[in-house]
Structure formats: structure tokens, C-alpha cells
Structure 1
């Protein structure tokens, strides 16, 4: 029996990384000869949306009991500082350093007496600690643009992993640009995407109260309301330019996140409440994607945005910013969808206008996407994963 431990800091949140983790857990759990354990760090202010989707026979180990943790005097102080608008950057840095130190102690205590054959660091959360952790094989999964992580952590420690899983060619190149000796450790593996599940969920009925929304002509985005990563300023700017030219379209945005209030304020300031409509998070966004005219993705950096592939599975054309890393790989450098410049409202506005006005272009993308999607079939990625885990 091979003991495989998967560590995640963010993987139970509703989003691309979370959905990728759920599919991997499901697929690995179907294999014989392995025992899976999921180690989860419960962070402050973090909601675990996907806990009930973890297969029931996989043990979940929490580093922190959330209620007990949040009742600690120190943690209450930390929470107050982190949420206060008056807190200085130095105070916030100190508090986050304390939190990281607590996490480090908890990780070592949790894993100390465990017999680990394979330890998978699913979101690079163990990078600074990996050298001191014991496992026969250590694997890291790079789901995002690696240069957003603290350079002193990943550049000094990524060499201590036996394998580095990347989700696109661009990501591999970025790592090799920083350290050419890692080439034999890097494995490109597209996230496991269950095509049948996406199609099946897209056919589910939406609540009666939402039917009038979904029957309208609209375009859609599904992304976290986080302005640090997602480029809402450019998206809002694009709609401002379109409205100035007399081009109006309803654009539904599905997702939740820390910057909802500031995004909403910017939408109101630009009189775009009837164009940009925040619908909040939805456990099943697929009927909304399927019934849209096309999908728009505006971001400053990515890893492999699964939602772009999911839109293509549902025969929905895609516009995406050409940010590092992922969209260019998924859209085959602009052959399978429209890639626009980062942080360029004018370029995005032109792409939206073109897709709105030219039905022929939308139909061409739908046809081309069918053949291209073979690249992202789950079976292909699963075989690669089994090879890395020595399960074949």
C-alpha cells in the first residue's frame, strides 16, 4: 500500500485550483494499491466550499481547528490588525510572519510520525519548509505564475522536490529561465478535466428566479473578485469605451472574493450597473456559461485557467487577456480564441465588439475548438500523473 499525502492551503476554495484538486482526488481514489490523505491548512477568513466533494474514504487532516484557533487571544489580535484600515504595512507583515511560524510548527508536528511515500505540495504552500519534511518522494504542483511567489522561497527551495508539475509550457519556460538545471524534474500536466461532468452540469435547470437572467442575450465571466489577480479595472474600462460608442451588452460576472465592494463602486462610478452585473458565487456556473454568447477572461496572471477549457467544452467562444501563464497555451496562441493585450481596455473593447457583431467568427471558433480539445482530455493527463507517482 502506497501512502500519498496531498497538502493544500487553498484547495478547498471554490475556484480552478479547488476543482482541479477534487478531480485528482476522485481519480486517484479509484486506483488500487494507494491510500490518500488530504492535509488542509484552514486559514483566517477562509471558507472551505468543497469539503463535501472530497471522496468520503479519504481522510482529511486539518492543521488548525478553526473555532479553537480563532478564539486564541493572539489570533483575535491578528484578525483585528489584518482587517483594520489603519494598520501599517509593518504590523501586517509581522502578523503574517507569526501566522506562518504557527503554520510551520503545525506542519512539522502533523507530519512528524507519518509514514509518507509521496508528499504532494498541491499549491506550493510547503516550499519554504520542504527541505526538512520527510517523504520518499516530494512533488510540487505549480498552478500559478511562479514569479508571484516570494522569490527567496521558491528559488532556493524548489530544487528539493523530486518532481515539479506545471500546467502549461509557459510555466515550464519561466522556471527554466530561473534555473536551467531543473529540466529533468519538470513534468507538464494539464489539469484533469471531466468533460462529461461539465456537459452534464450545464444541462441542469437553474432556479426559477434566475430564468429571466439566463434567457437574455449576455456574455459571461467566471472569476474570483480579487483585483490583485483579476483585472477588473481593464474590464470596466472596456465596457466604458463600448458604451461611449453606443454598444451595450449585459455582462454577468460569476464569483465572490475580497474586492467585491471596490469593484462594485467602480462599476457604479462609471454608470455601468446595467452592463456589468455581479451575480456572486455559484456552485454550478455551467448553465450560465453554456447559454452565453461568449466568455471573457481578464487577468494579470494565471496558471492554467480551467474555466477557459470548460467554456470551449460547452462550445462557447473565448476572449482572454494574454497574461502569464496559461491562456496562450489553452487558446493555442490565438488560434482557438481571441487573445488581447494585458491591461489594455481598448484592445479588450475591440475584441468584445468584434465577437458581438460577427456571428461567423463565433461559429468558426466553436468548430475549431472541438478538435483542439483532445489535448485536454482527462485520460491523457491521468496517465502522465500515474507515471510520476510510479503507479503504472
Structure 2
């Protein structure tokens, strides 16, 4: 009999956690394991990339609980008055305590699944962790935290009650491991490293697919992949583009990802007359042709756990400019495999300009990345070890 594994995730939009989940599901040995996916909101541009052998568990009431006031209206129309009132209260409670709101959301979600699993893996944390512990049947249960906990401690009062109830806690970089151990010293023996899986074969295959070239001919082609938000440093990037233009450097910068505040960023672009220098492309299920075709990959984020987009850019051997967030040195050594700069528009512009003007430095990065391509699909063994 195949061992049964259930993964939990909130959605499959283009964020790093979702991309990592899809890579994991495509890597796991589905001939040996019966793999299921519990998904709160069964949609997203990556949903089509789930292998057909993976069984999907979803429930419209759970989806509605994740949809704010729109979901509340749906619950009311369906006659789910208890869930309607509970979710309405939970939404207001979020303003007071995310931890208590997360626990209430987990309590409101109905239990769905298919009997007992050999292993249940909560891939999101927070409310999915509390739901897994309280309502799902599994011989072993593990959870993931995909970021630097010191930058995202909002659920601490709940996590400290639930982390003791799982068999293992995974996070995605050495720095994130150390931070989790500092916050949860009593659980230190349970805290382990499991990197986000990035498959070179999958990335390189998808990078060969056709795409609509967004760049203006003759300009230096820059690309950034990820949500367009201040958290990801998008405001710095737009100002950096302005600085480069003022210096007479012709760049055309493509941003691939959902735009958090379209009117605000459009206003910034218009204010600095950057309509011919910046393209906000929105969401795509396949950003890899854009990365492959670009001259320079820029990642101006304020903080990350361990960025999948950066791992993908490294696999495609792009010269990279990245800001000095807390975990950056888990992936980069400045001047060796990328240019690490400070978190401000001038520093970002300076690093980009240096790469544009210094062909030897670009070739150095490309050569290093070609010689040190990492295939970390063996990280899946850490899941197997929990169940075999």
C-alpha cells in the first residue's frame, strides 16, 4: 500500500510559497506515495501545474472564509449564519490580534479530508497549522515557515502553543533556522532546514516557451519577478529607474507579478516620465522566458525568507542585483555570484549602472553561476525520511 501524504496550502497564486509547492508536487515520487493537496482557495495561475495524480481537497465554505466581505455575503446567502457571524468577528479581530484571529479562522473551517494520513504537511503556517493540528487526522504532522520569523512575528502567541504539537518544523534557509530557534528555544530540536525546491530541468524547459517580448529595442533589459509592492522594494526600483534615466542610461525594466496598488505605481511612473522605461506586466504562470531574455535580474526586496525567484535567476545564469535584506547572504556573496547593494534607490541604481558598464563583472557572475548550478531536488528526501 502506498503511504498517504496530505499537503495544505492557501492558494496557488504566483508567490514563492505557491511556486515552491508546485515544484515539490512535481518532484515527489507519486508512484510510491499517494499525494493529496488541501487548498483553501482552489485557484491561481499555478493551479494548472498540479500533477494530475494529486488528489485535491477543497470546500466552498472554507474558500469563502478566506474571501473577506465577499465570502461573508456568500455564507449569508447559503444560510451559514454561524460561519457568517464568526468570520465577520474574525475579520475585525485581525485588527487586534492576528494570532487570535488565525486561531478563530482555523476553528471555523470545517474538517475535510479522507480519513487518516501517514503524513500531513502544513505548507503555509498560521491558521493552516492550527487547523491541521485540531481537525485533521495524521500519524505525523509537520509545518513550514517560509520567512525570517523576526520579520513576521504576528502569530507568535498562537505558534508557541501549536509548535509543540507537531513532529517537525521546517524553514527555508540557515538564517531562518537560527531565528526560529531563537524565538522557540524549547522546540529547537524540531526545527530543520528544507530549502524551497527548484528544479533546473523544469525551469530550463519552461524558459524556452514563447512569450511576448516587452522590451524596447536598444534599451538595457532589466527584469524583476514578484509582487509589485513596497515590501518588495518596487517603489525603490521605480525611483532607481528615474535615477538611471537622469544619468543618461537607457533601461527598459519589466516587472512580472501582481501589482499591489496600480494607481500609485502608475502615478510614480508618470511623475518621472518613465512610460518608455518601465513595463508592469502583471501575473504570468511562466516568468522564465522573461528572466532568460533579460540582461540583468534585479531583486530590490526589503526582506525574504529565501527567494525562489532569485534561485530561478541563478539557474538561468543571469547577472543579479539584490538588496541587502537579512537572509541575502544565504544565497549571495557580493562580487562573486551577484551584486548586493543597500536598500535605497541610489544604491540600486549604482549597482545596476556598474553591471551595465562592467562587462567583465557580468561575465564573471554568469561564469560562476554556470559552474555552480544547484539542483536541490534531493531536498524532497527530507519529506521521505518523515514517513518511511
| TM-score, length of structure 2 as denominator length | 0.84
Q: Counterpart of 2:373 in 1: which secondary structure? A: helix
1:248 to partner: Cα distance: 3.0
The equivalent position to 1:218 in structure 2, one of 205, 209, 221, is: 221
Q: Match of 1:338?
A: 339
Distance (whole Å) between structure 1 residues aligned to residue 172 and residue 244 of structure 2:
34
More displaced stretch, 298-307 vs 378-387: 378-387
Q: Within 1, Cα distance between the matches of 2:161 and 2:21?
A: 26
Q: Give the drift of 1:274.
A: 2.0
Q: Answer whether contact 1:214 1:291 (CA < 8 A) is retained.
A: no
1:105-254 equivalent positions in 2, closer than 5 A:
105-107=108-110, 109-110=111-112, 114-125=115-126, 126-133=128-135, 134-147=137-150, 148-150=152-154, 151-207=156-212, 210=213, 213=216, 217-227=220-230, 229-254=231-256
Which whole-Å deviations, capped at 9, do the CAs of 1:90-118 have from their partners, x for residues lacking one? 687389977973553324x225x721221
Q: SS of the counterpart of 1:72?
A: helix
Q: Deviations over 1:118-177 (max 9, x none)?
A: 111101132344543442211111222223142222234323221111111110111112
The worse-fitting range, judged by mean Cα deviation, of 214-223 and 252-261 is 214-223
Q: Which residue of 2 aligns with 1:282?
A: 284
Compared with structure 1, are the counterparts of its residues 214 and 256 closer, same or farther at alpha carbon in structure 2 (3 Å cutoff)?
Answer: farther
RMSD of aligned Cα (Å): 3.2
State the partner residue of 1:304. Answer: 306
Deviation at 1:30, TM superposition (A): 2.7
Structure 1 runs not aligned, ≥5 long = 83-88
Change (3 A) 1:211 1:353: closer
Number of residue pairs aligned between Structure 1 and Structure 2: 368
Compared with structure 1, are the counterparts of its residues 248 and 100 closer, same or farther at alpha carbon in structure 2 (3 Å cutoff)?
farther
**Counterparts of 1:169 and 1:230, CA distance in 2:** 21
After TM superposition, the runs of 4+ consecutive aligned structure 1 residues lying more than 4 A away are 65-70, 89-92, 94-100, 211-216
The 8 Å contact of residues 301 and 324 in structure 1, kept in 2 or not, is answered as: yes
Contact 2:93/2:101 (8 A) holds in 1:
no
State the shift of 1:200 in Å: 1.8
Q: How does 1:380-391 map to 2 (within 5 A)?
A: 380-387=378-385, 389-391=386-388
What CA distance in whole angstroms lies between the structure 2 residues aligned with 1:297 and 1:211?
Answer: 18
Q: Are 2:38 and 1:42 equivalent residues in the alignment? A: no
Counterpart of 2:67 in structure 1 is none
- Which residue is 1:86 aligned to? none
Q: Distance in 2 between matches of 1:271 and 1:92?
A: 39
CA distance in structure 2 between the aligned counterparts of 1:129 and 1:313, rounded to whole angstroms: 36
